[in-house]
Amino acid sequence: MSAAEILPEPHTDLESIPAAVARLRAAFDSGRTRPLAWRKQQLEQLVKMHEDHKQEFIDALHADFGKPTFEAYASDVGQGLTEAKTAIKNLQKWTRPERVGGLPLMGRGRVIREPLGVVLVISPWNYPIGLLLSPLAGAIAAGNAVVLKPSEVVPHTSAALARRIPEYMDPEAITLVEGGVEETTTLLEQRFDHIFYTGNGRVAQVVMEAAARHLTPVTLELGGKSPCIVHEDADIEVAARRIAWGKFINCGQTCIAPDYVLVHESKEEALVEALEKSAREFYGDDPKATPDYARIVNHRHHERLSGLLQDGVPAFGGELDPEDKYIAPTVLRQVSPDSAIMREEIFGPILPVLSVKSIDEAVAFVNDRDKPLALYLFTDDESVEEDVLERTSSGGACVNGTLMQIMDARMPFGGVGPSGMGAYHGRHTFETFSHRKAVLTRGTRFDPKIMYPPYSERLAKLMQRFM
């Protein structure tokens, strides 16, 4: 039995949750979180927490599902640190009132960003540090009080966050609630001013239903089946290496991982061979023995993925160890488009490869399914690139690469339709947690009576001329 299995399940006293939210509400109403000095100080504390305890967080991630040190920092722990530093650097600029042109006789217009209030951030288990603390950085920068809810599926990571958040962050305005369904249900019964949820569509429906009772706006970062299209002109060696990296990092447990490949029939054999070559270069002949390959997060998910393996024939991989929650990097062939593995998000190291006769067939295949969180295309033909991007809809896209579209904080990250709503990263996170208030200031020295009833024919002509 592993350490993760014997660790007590995360839990927060249910009766304490309403009082905790009320405490944050009182802090926000008092104006505590509005000053830029408070925001900057809390962001600096978030940076300090990362720097002081990054190894503790990395160790927790490894204990929960064997996440390699490099992946733990580069794709998870370091993500929140980067977002906090970006917010500190840009706080003055982001919060500066935005001047807008006024209309004749109307006055001087500007847009002010104001905090929403008390917000709830619910994070998933696959990247439990970054996907909790990145939204936190933007929420703080916008001047909100924040309730954090990490996933109970990763108990070591949840415990580490529960230890450090109260130590570094203002407990009157930022709090963390541990636990599972009961704690989340109790949280969703409270009134929040925004809910930011990352996870699956089924739970997202529950979140939206709860939010609707209070008319609370939501940001939903979900997933889906992100397709990868390989055109016949693609560099197969490069494509295979980048697809294999994007698929097998974190043992395939990434919301924007390539979920399936549509490759031109003339390149299918070559691509499968190159994928196997890349997997061997990454993880050796025995991926189970390398420290660079993670594990499935728990036995329930391992059992689900083991069942999906039956929907095709492994071109390579397919080895299982339920006790170790291990599934080898696997490529499946002879997969039916109607099989279970093609209907649900895989969220594991299993990659179906299907052949198509043309780009038109690939586009039609993608468009016949829910809009994905990401779309990947490998081609050196700019006309093919523009054609595919114009005829498909996805949360984001990456041409001749995978995953990298989320690395630049200047670009929004979010879904569309069933893959989510709203976006974040960098300034986009700050905007998500802000209200853009329009303010018009008029002078009093000039107040022509023509503007008031009884309205003259001359006024009507002026309005038509200038408006």
Residues 104 and 35 in one domain: yes
Question: Could you tell me the strand order of the sheet in which 313-316 lies?
Answer: 313-316, 330-333, 350-356, 260-264, 227-230, 374-378, 396-399
Domain of 59: which CATH number? 3.40.605.10
Domain membership of residue 450 (yes or no) is: no
pLDDT at 3: 42
pLDDT of residue 106: 76
Q: Which helix (H) or strand (E) holds 76?
A: none
- The pLDDT of residue 2 is 43
Range of the domain at 162: 3-222+417-439
pLDDT of 270 reads 98
* Total domain count, the chain: 2
Residue 465 lies in a domain: no
Structure tokens at 144: 């909100």
Rg of the chain on CA atoms, in Å: 25
Predicted pLDDT of residue 8 = 74
- Do 339 and 434 lie in one domain? The reply is no
| 327 found inside a domain | yes
Q: Are residues 126 and 73 in the same domain?
A: yes
Among the options 71, 83, 183, 221, which is catalytic?
Answer: 221
Q: Is residue 93 part of a domain?
A: yes
Does 189 participate in catalysis according to the annotation? no
**pLDDT given at position 461:** 81
- The answer to whether residue 258 sits within a structural domain is yes
Instruction: Give the span between the Cα atoms of 25 and 20, in whole angstroms.
Output: 9
Residues 234, 196, single domain; the answer is no
For residues 127, 129, 135, 141, the Cα torsion angle rounded to the nearest 10 degrees is -150
Mean pLDDT by 10 residues, the chain (467 residues): 58 95 98 98 98 97 96 95 97 96 76 98 97 98 98 97 98 97 97 97 96 97 96 97 98 97 98 98 97 96 97 97 98 97 97 98 98 98 98 98 94 96 97 96 84 83 74
Of 255, 268, 398, 431, catalytic: 255
Q: What is the pTM of this model?
A: 0.94
Residue 460 counted as domain residue: no
| CATH number of the domain that residue 275 is part of | 3.40.309.10
Which of 410, 430, 457 is the C-terminal boundary of a domain?
410
pLDDT attached to residue 439: 93
Domain presence at residue 288: yes
CA distance 100 to 110: 5
- Dump pLDDT digits (tens) for 397-426: 999 999 999 999 899 999 999 999 999 999
Do 266 and 205 lie in one domain? The reply is no
Q: Are residues 209 and 338 in the same domain?
A: no
Q: Which pLDDT does position 104 carry in this prediction? A: 61
221 has catalytic annotation: yes
Are residues 94 and 213 located together in one domain of the fold? yes
Q: Is residue 446 part of a domain?
A: no
Q: Do 215 and 242 have their domain in common?
A: no
Q: Are 342 and 251 members of one domain? A: yes
From 91, 177, 96, 74, select the one nearest 430 (Cα to Cα): 91
